[in-house]
Every structure is written in C-alpha cells, then in structure tokens.
Structure 1
Amino acid sequence: MTVTDRLLKSSAKQSYDPEVDLDWDAPLVDGLWYMQPERVSLYGTALWDRLSEEQRIELSRHEVASISSVGLWFELILMQMMVRDLYAADPRTPRMHYALTEVGDECRHSLMFGKAIEKVGAPAYGPQPVIHRLGRLMKTIGVGASAYASILVAEEILDRWQRELMKDERVQPLVRMVCRIHVLEEARHMTFARDEVESMLPDLSKVALTWHQVALAQTAFMVARALVNPEVYRAVGIDPREGRRAALGNPHYQDTLAWMGERVTSYLDDLGLIPRHQRVLWKKSMLIR
C-alpha cells in the first residue's frame, strides 16, 4: 500500500467538521490564557514585567489571533499551489485523490481559524503588508520540491506549538480544541509533503536544486517573521516598533522559534535543502541557531 493509499484510508476514518465538532456557543473562560504564556513573544522582557496579569492574558489573546490568521493566510497559499500542481495530474491516481482530500481539509481549517479568531474577539492581523504582497508572488511561482518543503515548514512549526498548547490546561478550551483538530489532520498533510519532497529531490539538477534551496530559505524567513504581527502590541499599550524590537531581541522568543523549527530544519538539512550558502538567512529566521 502506497503512502497516499494509507493517507486516504486515514482521512476516511478520522476527519473533523469544525462547524459541528466544536461548540462555538460555549463562553470563553475568564482568567484563562489564549496561548502558553512562556511562548508569548515578550515573555521575560522588561516590557513583559511592566504588564499586569490581565494585560499579559490580553497580549496572549492577540498573539494567538495573529498566529492563527498567519496560518490561515499560508493555508490559502498552499491550497493554490497544490491545485495548480494538480492541473495536469491524472485524476485516476491515489496521489490526486489524496491531494484533493487535503485541499478539502485545509478549507475546513481555514474556516475554523476564521471562526476562532472571531470568537476570541481579536483582529485577524495576518502578515505585515509587505509579506502579504510577497505571498501573492509565492503562490504564483511556488512549484515542486521547494513548494512542498515550504508547506512542511509552515505546518511543522505550527504543529510543534499546537501540540504543546493543546495539553496546557491554563489555555482556553476552545483554543485547545482548535489546536487538537488541526494537529490530528495536519499529521497526514506533513506525511504527504515529506513524501512529495523526497520523491522530487533525486530528479533535480544542481541548478534546480540551488533554486529550490534559495526559494525555501526565503519562505522560511518570511513565515517565521510573520507569525506575530507587530500591531498586536498596540492592544496592551506598547508601540508596535518597540514591541517588535523587544521580541526579536528576546532570548526566550528566540528559543521558542528555534524550538518550533528544530524538527523540520533537522529533516530538511539532512535532505540537503539547507546548504551553507543559505544558512545565514535561515539563522535570521531564528528557526535554526
């Protein structure tokens, strides 16, 4: 049985419909966090020390909305890349059947993230405008090994964060359940992306491999830096530029990004997709040391 055959069977056995599997009418719980406080970008900084407990929880609400909206933004990009990849594919094959199943999953995930952001009552920040514009380019030219590897980067770093979050009883039950659904279904998506990358790499010329290495590094930097939109800091009375500087210089947040990226970067490095000539940009993304 092929990887795609197994994934199709798994999808048939365990898939969720957020419209019916989540209780959207349940009230939020006063005093609970919206994400793990230790993963909030300002945790451990002088700015964090200035905030009251209520302000810290409020910042967690806005940061989870930012990360969720960036995840939604990237899911829209990956759906377009995948559908374009399937344009000339054989519709009789398990590969296309699973890819279409994944696109269906991602549509439901995007709806789920949108409803969750609305429920917590925060803006759908999304990436900063310049990154949003670059996303239009990425969805247009993204193809092949770097496209699927980029999907893997975005999904893996969110997966690491969500796996921890969904077990944390300090966090709102709704947010934990959203993460649990996403983790369970994204496990299949990551398996598919790894299989695609590994099947494509052997056929690449040296020039093509270099192109994909460069494209992947650019995407990883863009996604990692987009997760927390600086506008979130305004919600707790902090100037966005001051908050951004503090976050990027914060050893705790740097550790969090490296922790989120350590599994996927180790995997991609083993495949030869993080070469020396792109390592500086990967380090700037903070997904590797």
Structure 2
Amino acid sequence: MTTALPAQRPAVSDREETARRLLASSARKSYDPMIEVDWEAPVPADKFGLTPEWSTLYGTKLWDEMTLEQKVELTKHEAASVSSVGLWFEILLMQMLLRDVYGRDKHSRHVQFALTEVADECRHSVMFARAGERFGMPSYGPHPVIHKLGRIWGNFFRGANAYASVMAAEEILDMMQRDFMKDERVQPITRTVSKIHVLEEARHIRFAREEVGRRLQDASRARLAVERVSTAAVVYFVMKSMIRKDVYANAGLDTERAIAEAKNNQHYKDTVRKSGAKLMHFLTESGLVGGPSKILYKKVNLL
C-alpha cells in the first residue's frame, strides 16, 4: 500500500531571507566554550553527569539498589557517551555542509550562514571532547562498525535526506540537553555545555528544517520513499549509539543485568517518545514518515 503524500508541508521562507536572519542572530549571540565553560572548576562528587531521569537505568530495580555514588558515576559515563556521539555526528555534519556549498555562490548569505554553522560545530566538537576529558571518561563514540559506516555514508550525504538527518540528530541531542541545562542536580560543566549547544543549535535546526522543506518541494513518491528510509536509518543508528553498553562495566555495574534492565526500561522508552514528539511531528508533516521507516522509529521508541 502506498502512503499518501502530506496535504501541506511546513511553510518555508526565502532561502536568503532565512540566512540573513540567522547570520544576524549569530552575530548577536554566539559563545566561545573555551571562555564560557569553567574547565578548571572542581567536579562535585554529588552531582549527576546528566538528568537522572534520562539515565537508561532510571526506574529499574537495579537503579533503586544503586548507591548515590554509583548513580553519579553511571550518569557521568552516560553523559560522556552522549557527548561522544554528538561529536561524531558534528564532524559528519561539517563534511556535509562543506560539500553542499562547495559549488554555490560564496557571496550568498545562505553559503555564509552554512560556513558560520561549520565554525559553530567546530567549537561544539572541541567542547564535547573537552567535557569528556574533564570528567576523566573514556572516548566512547559509536560502535566501530557504525563509525566506519558513517565514513562511507558521509560521502553520499546529499539533498533533503542530508538536512533531514542533520536536523533529526541535532533534535535528539536537543531534547535531552534542554533538561540537562536546567537541572541543578547535574554537573555544572554538563549544564553549561548543554546550554551553549541548545542555544546555538536552535539556529542550525531552523536552517535545516527550512532546507528540508525546500528540497522536498514537488518530490515524487519514489524519491520520498528513499528519503524516508535514509532519514530513519540515520535516526536509528544515532539513537542506538547514544549509550554504549560498556558504560555499565566502566561504572562498576553487573553488565549483563544492566543491559537487560535498560533494554526493558519502560520509563526510558516513554521519556524518549514524549521528548521526541516535536521531531516526529515535523518529519510526519514533511512526508518523511511512512512505510518501512516506521519500523525503525518504533525500534528506537520514537513512535
């Protein structure tokens, strides 16, 4: 059965108009993490690495049995895992943006904002790396197989699926970090890093959302089918990579039990689904949810 096209996709403004507004916003409010984050501040022993309700074990029997020290240590490892995946995807994003503007008019505001975004992402990547280093965490990153696939897939990052994938990955980080930055139970470094990323990524997400809309105008059903699967595959691998399984062993937990309880953690599944509702609404409106893509979104609890 063929899925019908959406009746009306989200409206987009003129490409140059959008870029002018975003460039003006960047000029008014951008951050240098090397200055804004107090990298030399002590790391409090009683502060979580991320909002505890976002821990993959929160709400499980194992979580209830853990000491405060164990919970803090686990969430530091989970935060480092999330940041390392964010760093990995930022690098893929920069490659995509540079390829996309390579042959475009460099005098255009669209290209100039894309280059501004690359500069932002460079700073974000260093910021994520520095945060993991400051907490003394391993350099997690995605599974080696996914890392290699990213290198290959990055070469084919094109058109609407590239911007949709970027927007989706950034939205996933955004939905977590909006909670981290406001939570006084969380490490000060995590809160500041999250605040910087959320505020600057708001511009990047707007840029990507409108570009998705432009590039899907008059898209055929066949092209939409390809874009759906491509975008869903990226979201699936990003979500699956967020928390590496070795965080449990590194936090001193029974790895097999932790993995089993995390896999069946209904609280975590509900948190992801609720927080990802805005992203899924946009993807659905854009015609990027349907057919096999729904299976992938369900597997990572976004549907």
**Interval containing the TM-score (normalised by the shorter chain):** over 0.9
Q: 1:263 & 1:244 partners in 2: Cα distance?
A: 28
Shift of 1:239: 4.6
For 1:219, the equivalent position in structure 2 comes to: 234
> Which one of the candidate residues 48, 52, 55 is aligned to 1:37?
52
Shift of 1:279: 0.8
For the pair 1:66 / 2:46, whether they are aligned, the reply is no
Confirm or deny: 8 A CA contact 1:48 1:56 kept in the other structure: yes
Q: 1:21 & 1:53 partners in 2: Cα distance?
A: 29
Task: Calculate the TM-score normalised by the size of structure 2.
Answer: 0.92
Shift of 1:282: 1.1
Q: Which amino acid aligns with 1:61?
A: K
For the pair 1:81 / 2:92, whether they are aligned, the reply is no
Q: 2:292 & 2:45 partners in 1: Cα distance?
A: 49
> Which one of the candidate residues 127, 147, 160 is aligned to 1:112?
127
For 1:169, the equivalent position in structure 2 comes to: 184
Shift of 1:75: 0.5
Confirm or deny: 8 A CA contact 1:35 1:61 kept in the other structure: yes
Query: Gapped runs of 5+ residues in structure 1?
Result: none
Within a 5 Å distance, the mapping from 1:117-156 to structure 2 comes to: 117-156=132-171
Confirm or deny: 8 A CA contact 1:224 1:286 kept in the other structure: no
Query: When the two structures are aligned, how many residues end up with a matched partner?
Result: 288
Q: Which amino acid aligns with 1:225?
A: K
Confirm or deny: 8 A CA contact 2:90 2:125 kept in the other structure: yes
- Aligned-pair Cα RMSD in Å: 1.3
Q: Which amino acid aligns with 1:4?
A: A
* Percent of pairs with identical residues: 48
Confirm or deny: 8 A CA contact 2:174 2:198 kept in the other structure: yes
- SS of 2:292's equivalent in the other structure is helix
- SS of 2:107's equivalent in the other structure is coil
- SS of 1:99's equivalent in the other structure is helix
Within a 5 Å distance, the mapping from 1:1-289 to structure 2 comes to: 2-288=17-303
Q: 1:260 & 1:141 partners in 2: Cα distance?
A: 29
Query: Gapped runs of 5+ residues in structure 2?
Result: 1-15
